[in-house]
Every structure is written in structure tokens, then in C-alpha cells.
């Protein structure tokens, strides 16, 4: 019997023992579960600015963790080694929420403020993020989510009370671009709008030559962000060849500066990234 997963708008209908589109959620005995629960592929104590979050407790560090899988298929993925794979073909280490929180607490003497759920798409590990974030909050730690924003409204609203900051990818400002990566622009816009009401939000847009680098598109993108809140920081980030786009050249530096200049016409805080 197939069961529909309700965490993201793909709404995968998953048969028993099968995986959804994200490769991280499965149907086990008639119930959708997080197959990659606690299965970490990456862990590091990072500067908060690396998330990137430039206006959330600057100068601090955060324990950053990731698993595997993603509900997008971006051909330019910067972390394809973990996001475009499954647990069957990648090494993982099982770290349950209690252990993760204790690890974060043990690093406070090194400037750690909490836990960042990042590297792959954390929302497909919704139950793990929720359980860890709730426990971390009880211990006085901060919770940060770095996400593509492609999540259904109900699970998002359930999670937000435990989240202190988010960096959300706004990959482009066109429906056609989002169709290419198997997502939906309106869903991501809704995620940004809802999150901005409850926690600190910063936005990242990776500028890819001939894909989303038009000046008019940046005008529309930054204008829309300003309509939510002109104080939301935007990171205009330079593309480098990755995964299925290895033949494409890096974004010209002058293009990044020009688009950032345009964004500043609407937003108070704009940062050039990967320069």
C-alpha cells in the first residue's frame, strides 16, 4: 500500500520499503518515516557567517551538521556528493538528538551558540530536525536551518517556534528556473514570508551565468524581498562550476557587484559572496 508523504510539495506516493524523490523518506509498515534520521555525513564547527548569516550573532560559531538527500535536482549543486545520493552508497554516522545536543553543549567554550542543520536539505529530515531543535532549545542553544525553502506549510509552522534563524535559498525569481530544479517559486516565497514573521531570516541567491543573472530579475527579486521586509539580508553569491555544470564558467565578479548594486536599491543589507 502506498502512502503520501506530506513534508514537501512533491507529495510522493511511496510504496512499502521504497524511497521518495528526496531519497531520505520511506514507507515503513504503512507509515512515512525519516529514513535518514540521525544519519550524519558531515559535521563541523563553523563561523556563523559561513551559513551564511551575517547579521545573526556575528563572530560566533555554530555546530553544523548534515545528512544526505534533497528534494531539488539543481544541476549546479555545490554539495552533490551528499545531497544527490542515498544512504546505501554513502558513509554515515548515527548521532541521535540527545548526543548531538550534548556535543553542541560541549563546544560552547569554543564559541558555539547551537546547531545548524545544513549541507544537504535538512527539511527532508524533518523529524530529526524537530526533535533535535526542541531539545537544543530546552538547553538554551540556538537553532539555525539552511534550506531551499521547499516545505509544506503545516510542518514549517510546527518547526518555526524552535528555530532562531534561517538562511533560505531564493534560487531565482522565475517559474521556469524552479521547474528545472523540480521546485516551485511560490512555495519558497511563502516559506520566506512565514519564517520572516517568526525568526531571523537571510536569503541567498547563487548567480549562474545565462540562467538567473538578468538585471530585471534581480530588480524583481529584491523588490519582492523588500515587500516582506527591507531589512532581510540578501547574499548575492558567485557560481563556480560544480556537478552537472562543470563546463560553465564562473560568474564574472563584475556581474556580482552589479547585481548587488541593483539589489541595494530595494534592500538595506546586501552582501557579495564567493568573491
C-alpha cell at 217: 530579475
Q: Is the pLDDT of residue 86 over 90?
A: no
Provide the residue ranges of all domains of the chain, joining segments of one domain with +.
3-273
CA 101 to chain centre: 20
CB neighbourhood size of 75 (10 A):
16
Q: What is the pTM of this model?
A: 0.97
The mean of the pLDDT values for the chain is 97
Residue 87, pLDDT score:
77
Rounded Cα distance between 195 and 175, Å, is: 21
Task: Judge if the upstream peptide bond of residue 52 is cis by omega within 30 degrees of 0.
Answer: yes
Tens digit of each residue's pLDDT (9 = 90 or more) over 52-66? 999 999 999 999 999
**CATH superfamily membership of 3-273:** Aldolase class I (3.20.20.70)
**Dihedral sign, Cα of residue 147, residue 153, residue 155, residue 151:** negative
Q: Is the pLDDT of residue 231 over 90?
A: yes
CA 185 to chain centre: 15
Tens digit of each residue's pLDDT (9 = 90 or more) over 178-203? 999 999 999 999 999 999 999 999 99
- 170, 202 contact by CB (below 8 A): no
- Coil, helix or strand at residue 20: coil
Amino acid at each position: 500500500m502506498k502512502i503520501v508523504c506530506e513534508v514537501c510539495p512533491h507529495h510522493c506516493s511511496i510504496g512499502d520499503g521504497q524511497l521518495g524523490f528526496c531519497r531520505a523518506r520511506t514507507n515503513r509498515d504503512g507509515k512515512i518515516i525519516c529514513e535518514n534520521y540521525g544519519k550524519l555525513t558531515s559535521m563541523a564547527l563553523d563561523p556563523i557567517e559561513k551559513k551564511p548569516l551575517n547579521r545573526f550573532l556575528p563572530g560566533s560559531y555554530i555546530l553544523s551538521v548534515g545528512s544526505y538527500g534533497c528534494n531539488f535536482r539543481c544541476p549546479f549543486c555545490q554539495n552533490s556528493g551528499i545531497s544527490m545520493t542515498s544512504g546505501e552508497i554513502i558513509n554515515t554516522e548515527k548521532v541521535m538528538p540527545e548526543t548531538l545536543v550534548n556535543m553542541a553543549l560541549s563546544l560552547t567554550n569554543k564559541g558555539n551558540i547551537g546547531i545548524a542543520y545544513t549541507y544537504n536539505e535538512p527539511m527532508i529530515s524533518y523529524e530529526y530536525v524537530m526533535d533535535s531543535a526542541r531539545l537544543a532549545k530546552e538547553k538554551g542553544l540556538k537553532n539555525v536551518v539552511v534550506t531551499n525553502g521547499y516545505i509544506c506549510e503545516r510542518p514549517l509552522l510546527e518547526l518555526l517556534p524552535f528555530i532562531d534563524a534561517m538562511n533560505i535559498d531564493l534560487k531565482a525569481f522565475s517559474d521556469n528556473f524552479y521547474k528545472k530544479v523540480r521546485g516551485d517559486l511560490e512555495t519558497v516565497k511563502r516559506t520566506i514570508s512565514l519564517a520572516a514573521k517568526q525568526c531571523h531570516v537571510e536569503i541567498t541567491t547563487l548567480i549562474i551565468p545565462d540562467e538567473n543573472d538578468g538585471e530585471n530579475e534581480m530588480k524583481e527579486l529584491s523588490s519582492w524581498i523588500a515587500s516582506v521586509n527591507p531589512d532581510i539580508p540578501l547574499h548575492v553569491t558567485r557560481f563556480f562550476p560544480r556537478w552537472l555544470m562543470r563546463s560553465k564558467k564562473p560568474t564574472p565578479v563584475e556581474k556580482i557587484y552589479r547585481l548587488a548594486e541593483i539589489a541595494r536599491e530595494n534592500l538595506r543589507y546586501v552582501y557579495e559572496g564567493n568573491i
